[in-house]
Amino acid sequence: MMTYFTPNSRNGFLLVKIVVPALLALALMLSGSLARAQISALKDHDVKEPVDISADKLEVRQKENIAVFVGNVKVVQGDMTMNSDRINVYYEAGEDKELSSSITRLDASGNVTVKSPTEEISSSWAVYDLSEGIITLGDRVVLKTEDGELHGKKLRLNLDTGVISIEGQDGKDRVKGQFTVPDKQD
């Protein structure tokens, strides 16, 4: 049991006891909802799936192993879609440079969105490290799900575990969230 004191005009303080089991039940119900919000629908996303990219313009810097896509860029890999104004694709060239190459990283900038079947993340920039299976998004990050919305400075999504972590900016912006409360089940 938890105990706390409240002012009482006759004896100074009145001892009040609160039954904790009801509070624990409420905390358990809420924690289940919050835990679901922290795991992405992209958990176990296969980073080895083909990456389809389309854009208004393409420039290939073959000596640097970089392909620059500009204008209405759309990247699709499995059930994940990334859109932005510009994406630099870094790749390792294979022995047959025209037919065999491996994308190692995507750097997106300008109006970035990453969508899965149940969530949408928007930001100013993103780095998708395919070798690590990590997507990092930054600057004015907004994560929208059916359960609510989170705002922060930087978001990190682990595609293997599905864990999403969001940071604020030290001393300035904190992580902010707005969540929907489910209707009471009868």
The pLDDT score that the predictor gives to residue 9 is: 41
The pLDDT score that the predictor gives to residue 169 is: 65
Using an 8 Å Cβ cutoff, are 67 and 60 in contact?
yes
pLDDT at 35 over 50: no
The Cα 104–Cα 10 span in angstroms is 73
pLDDT at 10 over 50: no
The pLDDT score that the predictor gives to residue 23 is: 32
pLDDT in tens, 146-172: 888 889 999 999 989 889 888 886 667
Give the CATH fold of the 40-178 domain.
Answer: lipopolysaccharide transport protein A fold (2.60.450)
Where along the chain do its domains lie?
A: 2-37, 40-178
Instruction: Express as a percent the part of the chain with pLDDT over 90.
Output: 44
* The residue type at 48: K
- Report the pLDDT averaged over residues 100-126: 92
Which of 28-42, 76-90, 134-148 is predicted least confidently?
A: 28-42
The Cα 1–Cα 4 span in angstroms is 10
Using an 8 Å Cβ cutoff, are 104 and 130 in contact?
yes
String of b and e for 136-145 (b: at least 16 CB within 10 Å)? bbbeebbbbb
Residues 6+ apart with CB under 8 A from 185: none
pLDDT in tens, 46-81: 767 889 999 999 999 999 999 999 999 999 999 999
- Name the band, by pLDDT with cuts 50, 70 and 90, for residue 95: low
pLDDT at 128 over 70: yes
